[in-house]
Structure 1
Amino acid sequence: MKRLLFLLPLLAAVVFSGQVLAHALQPGYLEIKPAGADTFQVLWRKPAVAGKPMAIEAELPQGCDAAREPVPTFDGAAWVAQWTIRCDRGLRGGEVRIRGLEATQTDVLVRYELEPGAAQTRRLTPDDTGFVIPHDPSTIDVIGTYLPLGVEHILGGIDHLLFVFAMLLLIRDGWRLLWAVTAFTVAHSITMAFATLGWLTLPGPPVEAVIALSIMFLASELVQRSERPERLAELYPWTVSFAFGLLHGFGFAGALSEIGLPDTDIPMALFSFNVGVEIGQLAFIAAALAVFYVLGLIAPRLRGLIRSPGSAVALCLAYAIGGIAGFWFVERVFGVVSMSS
């Protein structure tokens, strides 16, 4: 019966993992880049919803001919349309809007070039469906775009948050936890910068598989921990966090490379995105600690069992974390194998 109890979180983990993946929705992507004198090439990717393109349309600046999109085609992941427009007055001062976005729960990334090689990126949401292309994008525009993207990425990155949550469960000393979080931050900042700038790159699918493996390692530490002796991740949390933080940084870089960096202000965009990641991470840690605090007030015994090595509650949490990460690991390894075959 006790073994059956520990199978339940594993089953729930697999179901949860499948639901997270099944309901994941990629953002839309609109790209406008010069193709000649007053001519621009447009690439428009709509998310697929139930096998059909999402009911959103790109409205380009007035004065541009062929501003309405052609019929899109499905490329296996999204609905894509490409066409050429002519804007006699250029793009500066023109308005770009995504009609219908207000009725969705997704975002659209708009990447545009006022001049060849001078790309800028803007994120549109259901609450902010359009913008006027500035004549000269400022530093504030860059921060306002990339900082929210960083927050959104970390809060939507369940694997990164699960790693941080496992560290919170494993490390009971406040100072060790602080050093572990700091080491994780420093490490992923380094590799994210190196990979985004093209100084050091690794293929995305294997990195994602190893990220899942890092969570499985922490889950194993949680299952096997006891009062004494302490596990490796408890004795040297900053070392473990730094090592795995380097890997997680490549994951952050993969997301940032898909968004793209503004060619005119790469350092500020990179810094803003990283600050956004840290704000999101600290917000998650603060929320988790607040839950633990409230739990200590209303159910102190349950909180004690969560933090107690070897208790049934602690083991259930550890198996659930390991089960979710194991599901991701197997799926991502199969993805690597299918890509290489």
Structure 2
Amino acid sequence: MKAALFVLLSVWVALSGAPAQAHALDPGYLELRQLAQNTWQVSWRKPDVTGRPMTIDAVLPESCTPARGPEPTSDGVAWVSVWVAECETGLGGNSVKIDGLETQRNDVLLRLQPLDAPTTTLRFTPDTVELEIPQQPTTFAVFTSYFRLGFEHILEGWDHLLFVSALFLLVRDKWRLVGAVTAFTVAHSITLAFATLGVLNVPGPPVEAVIALSIVFLALEILRRKDGQLRLSEQYPWIVCFCFGLLHGLGFAGALAEIGIPPQDVFAALLSFNLGVEAGQLLFIAALSAVLMAWRFMTPSGSGRLATYSIPVAGYAIGCVSIYWLIERVSGF
């Protein structure tokens, strides 16, 4: 019945190449904090690319001195440079540019903190490498920027999507699947909020390793499944998904912590990021459902033996990738 998903997962495994990182491309981050009328503190974080800073650079308006910062230093996660710029005509109405971004796949977030206006967040993309600083920035930009960030984050997170795929293959009853997805959503929303607000502080590497382990567990459940005999994970999938959702929420929080959130717009950034994650997750589930419906339409009489073998093969494919991630992440402690 779900044989077509095997093809999808096979292509997925081939394209992913069992990536070492769950999220291969982290965004850059530029913060402009006003210290005085024409004085701004600049904090610039470049993503790390195989131990070297990505070949992009933040360029302030010509009226600012200096317009570029010093050589960055590594903090173990990204490459950071901090400097103070004097901007004679201010920043409002002038443009900030990210040199070299047009050749990359990353985005860059810009957080602007004026003294007499709300903090706002803008977004550079490979198609939009130059942005005009608004005269009166609003917090609405935070919501739209972080929603898109959450949406893209989930669609680029192979481990989170593989978990959802395994759940989709395992749980055949649609109402149990709805309950499981709801429990997963509630759980990762809780830990995402707690970790972002500083209530929880869990190291990232163990979290990423346990996330891989959660996918291994679902792969084993797929392989052990027998018709007419519901396993605990099938009878009460919301319990399993709630527990693992707590861990996946910590993974989302780790990504959000690397980017940073505006102190004055924590709620808006957290809510919009979480909504973006959910939108991406629902889109992915809808895509899987569309594949299944198309397969049923193309083979109305059933797929017979192909359906019998495709689910175990998909389970082995999911298991192999997740075990590779688990070993790699544990060895990287």
**Interval containing the TM-score (normalised by the shorter chain):** 0.7 to 0.9
Q: CA distance change for structure 1 residues 304 and 29 in 2, over 3 Å: closer, same or farther?
A: farther
Find the counterpart in structure 1 of residue 194 from structure 2: 194
User: What SS does the aligned partner of 2:263 have?
Assistant: coil
Q: Which runs of 5+ in 1 are unaligned?
A: 1-8, 337-341
- The question of 1:84 aligning with 2:84 is answered yes
SS in structure 2 of the partner of residue 265 of structure 1: helix
Give the equivalent residue in structure 2 for 1:290. 290
Equivalent position amino acid for 2:191 in 1: T
Conserved in 1, the CA contact under 8 Å of 2:30 and 2:43? yes
Query: 2:132 is aligned with what amino acid?
Result: V
1:148 aligned partner, one-letter code: R
Structure 1: distance between partners of 2:230 and 2:102: 51
Structure 2 distance, partners of 1:186, 1:69, is: 42
Distance in 1, Cα, partners of 2:20 & 2:54: 20
Partner in structure 2 of residue 331 of structure 1: 328
Offset at residue 182 of structure 1 (A) = 1.0
State the distance in 1 between where 2:178 and 2:51 align.
46
**Equivalent residue of 1:188, what SS?**
helix
Moved more, 111-120 or 192-201: 111-120
Match of 1:183 in 2: 183
Aligned length: 324
Larger RCO (CA within 8 A; separation ≥ 6): 2
Question: What is the aligned partner in structure 2 of residue 3 from structure 1?
Answer: none
Match of 1:6 in 2: none
The within-5 A match list for 1:120-199 is 120-199=120-199
C-alpha RMSD of the superposition: 3.1
Determine the C-alpha separation between the residues in 2 that align with 1:117 and 1:205: 38
Offset of 1:50 from its aligned partner?
7.3
Q: How many Å separate the matches in 1 of 2:115 and 2:256? A: 22
- CA shift at 1:48, angstroms? 5.3
Query: Residues 269-321 of structure 1: CA distance to partner in whole angstroms, max 9, x if unpaired?
Result: 11111111111000000011111111222346786667x5xx33211110111
Seen in structure 2, the aligned counterparts of structure 1 residues 117 and 136 have a Cα distance that, compared at 3 Å, is closer
Give the TM-score, by structure 2 length: 0.85
Contact 2:97–2:129 (8 Å) recurs in 1: yes
For 2:107 and 2:221, how far apart are their aligned partners in 1? 37
Deviation digits for residues 111-144 of structure 1 (CA, Å, limit 9, x no counterpart) = 3322499754332111222323334432421211
Aligned counterpart, 1:94: 94
Cα distance in 2 between the residues matched to 1:23 and 1:255: 9
Question: Given the two structures, how large is their TM-score scaled by the length of structure 1?
Answer: 0.84
Amino acid aligned to 1:333: V
Quick one: distance in 1 between partners of 2:122 and 2:302?
A: 45
Give 1:5's aligned residue. Answer: none
Structure 2 gaps of 5+ residues are 1-8
Letter in 2 for 1:88: E
Cα deviation, residue 35, structure 1: 5.5
CA distance in 2, matches of 1:197, 1:169: 35
- The equivalent of 1:243 in structure 2 is 243
Deviation at 1:70, TM superposition (A): 3.8
Partner of 2:3: none
Q: Indicate how the Cα distance of structure 1 residues 76 and 177 shifts in structure 2: closer, same or farther if over 3 A, else same.
A: closer
Deviation at 1:203, TM superposition (A): 1.6
Contact 1:13 1:323 in 2 (8 A): no
Greater Cα shift, 295-304 or 236-245: 295-304
Go from structure 1 to structure 2 and tell me whether the alpha carbon gap of 1:14 and 1:179 turns closer, same or farther (over 3 Å shift).
same
Q: Percent identity?
A: 53
Query: What pairs with 1:246-325 in structure 2 (closer than 5 Å)?
Result: 246-299=246-299, 311-325=308-322
Give CA-to-partner distance per residue, 1:49-101, whole Å, 9 cap, x none.
57765443322134211103444556676554443311234434432121332
Shift, 1:226, TM fit: 0.3
Q: For 1:165, what is the secondary structure of its paired residue?
A: helix
1:223 alignment counterpart:
223
Taking the aligned partners of 1:275 and 1:213, their CA distance within structure 2 comes to 26
8 Å contact from structure 1 (residues 120, 263) kept in 2: no
Q: Distance in 2 between matches of 1:208 and 1:22?
A: 8
CA distance in 1, matches of 2:210, 2:116: 37
C-alpha change, 1:20 and 1:127, in structure 2 (3 Å) is farther
Give the letter aligned to residue 327 of structure 2: V
Cα distance in 2 for residues equivalent to 1:141 and 1:283 = 23
* Counterpart residue type for residue 322 of structure 1: G
Q: Within 2, Cα distance between the matches of 1:52 and 1:257?
A: 21
